[in-house]
Amino acid sequence: MDLDGKRIVLGMTGGIACYKVCELARRLQDEGADVQVVMTQAALKFVTATSMQALTGKPVFVDAWQADANGRVDDAMPHIALTRGADAVVVAPASADFIAKVAHGLCDDLLSTLVLARAPDVPLLLVPAMNVEMWSHPATQRNVAQVKADGATVLGPASGAQACGEVGLGRMLEAHELREDIVAFFQPKLLAGRRVLITAGPTFEPIDPVRGITNLSSGKMGFALARAAREAGAAVTLVAGPTALATPRGVQRVDVRTAREMHDAVMGYAHHADVFIAVAAVADWRVANPSKTKLKRTKGAPPALMFEANPDILADVATLKRPPYCVGFAAESDDVIANAQAKLQAKRIALIVANRAQDAFGADDSELHLVDAVGVTTLPRASKLAHARRIVAEIAARLQPR
Ligand code: C5P
């Protein structure tokens, strides 16, 4: 679990978005986090301390003068003790008033006091939720800039319909989005400042307006790599063939259908990329004579399809004048490593991630081999996200320092 052993103080201030924090408290625990809720008086107007206690299995702290009934908070000083040993303070929802208080160092209740009293190595994550006019008011924007300058991380807000009936920026992020962002926050920033370009999924080569040739690639590995690279601090562009997978948080996605569309999209970004990871299962051939109208079933001979070769996207990127660091994937049915070594040389790329074709498509875990000029590193069977994080670390270690 991605938040195993992490102690998170979850602060709640006044706002209807408190209802989403009931869910967030559960999702953080699903990831293994220990969650201690602290609520302001205004938060209590929206959900009860009993709800949050039931959801976390722990007494909720509200009052700076509250004596500790459980003997867990030393000297009945919760404003100090609650953050000692914590890995982060997450305030969700963070109201305009609360952000203003943090910006000015005001501390007139338990939550604002513990934020000020936390040690400098305990990160503060603020998750704003407020009406669009409150969010865009210059005073709030000044305060947000100030808390960021003081080291806080601000997650969101999103734009959209608001509970007040107005529309715009100020919606709190959803619990599943915050889960992904908070997990990402704790990942090492091995690719900070790097631009990473990734292809993922299958391609689809039309035969006629309703039929085509595709393959069984699910896109899961490429999407996991996009997520892992973003978690590591990179700016990520994901060029995806047809797949229903959700876009990882913070990733720029470009949807394409055919190999040629994928090639064109990739070449448009490749010049600016520091790393290119070709995960897509690109069709080697396309139908040379696709029909403009739907082919009809006739009694005679079936239609004859002619094929022509698609561009090799990875090879074209690898032979640019100033190519990014290029990583290829190879699914082989036999002689996995020998075939990967041959491909490494043929495509003139830095690193190949090889696996058995029988394992590769659609599965959630597999064994991988990283093959480069130096040798072979075998990554034992693990989830695609675990592999993706390891591959990102291996790439980061091989990049030239800037
Ligand atoms: O040559 P082969 O298809 O086995 O190589 C696989 C690698 O090359 C993968 O990284 C795949 O994404 C990439 N590739 C490509 N364009 C193609 C074919 C493969 O980028 N037309």
Domain ranges of the chain: 7-186, 195-398
* C-alpha–C-alpha distance, residues 182 and 179, integer Å: 5
Cβ contacts of residue 246 below 8 Å, gap of 6+? none
Query: What was the pLDDT predicted at 362?
Result: 61
Query: What was the pLDDT predicted at 374?
Result: 92
Q: Which of 109-118, 144-153, 236-245, 347-356 has the lowest mean pLDDT?
A: 347-356
Tell me the pLDDT of the chain averaged across its residues: 94
Fold agreement (7-186, 195-398): yes
Closest ligand 1 atom to residue 199 Cα is 12
Closest ligand 1 atom to residue 277 Cα is 10
pLDDT digits (tens, 9 = 90+) for 151-209: 999 999 999 998 889 999 999 999 999 999 999 999 999 999 999 999 999 999 999 99
CATH numeric code, 195-398: 3.40.50.10300
CA dihedral angle for residue 328, residue 331, residue 335, residue 337, rounded to 10 degrees = 30
- Confidence band of 301 (pLDDT split at 50, 70, 90): confident
Task: Please give the share of the chain, as a percent, with pLDDT higher than 90.
Answer: 85
Ligand 1 close to Cβ of residue 326 (< 6 A): no
- Confidence band of 333 (pLDDT split at 50, 70, 90): confident
As a whole number, mean pLDDT of residues 120-147 equals 97
Active site annotation includes 164 = yes
Query: What was the pLDDT predicted at 143?
Result: 98
Distance from the alpha carbon of residue 357 to the mean position of ligand 1, in angstroms = 13
What are the backbone dihedrals phi and psi of residue 281, each rounded to the nearest 5 degrees, phi first? -90, 90
As a whole number, mean pLDDT of residues 306-320 equals 97
Distance of CA 384 to the CA centre of its chain: 13
* C-alpha–C-alpha distance, residues 59 and 62, integer Å: 10
pLDDT digits (tens, 9 = 90+) for 365-389: 889 999 999 999 999 999 999 999 9
Q: Angle 96-104/110-117 helices, nearest 10 degrees? A: 40
As a whole number, mean pLDDT of residues 4-15 equals 97
Is pTM beyond 0.85? Reply is yes
Query: What was the pLDDT predicted at 360?
Result: 66
User: Six-digit token pair at 396?
Assistant: 């980061």
Would you tell me which CATH number, out of the four given (1.20.140.10, 3.40.50.1950, 3.40.50.970, 3.40.50.2000), belongs to the domain 7-186?
Answer: 3.40.50.1950
* C-alpha–C-alpha distance, residues 262 and 212, integer Å: 16
Residue by residue, what is the 3-state secondary structure of 244-283? CCCCCCCCEEEECCCHHHHHHHHHHHHCCCCEEEECCECC
Closest ligand 1 atom to residue 328 Cα is 10
How far, in Å, are 22, 27, 200, 286 from residue 254 at the CA level?
34, 29, 10, 21
Distance from the alpha carbon of residue 282 to the mean position of ligand 1, in angstroms = 6
Distance from the alpha carbon of residue 279 to the mean position of ligand 1, in angstroms = 8
Mutation choice for ligand 1 from 261, 275, 314, CB with most ligand atoms inside 8 A: 314
Point out which residues pair with 192 in neighbouring strands: none
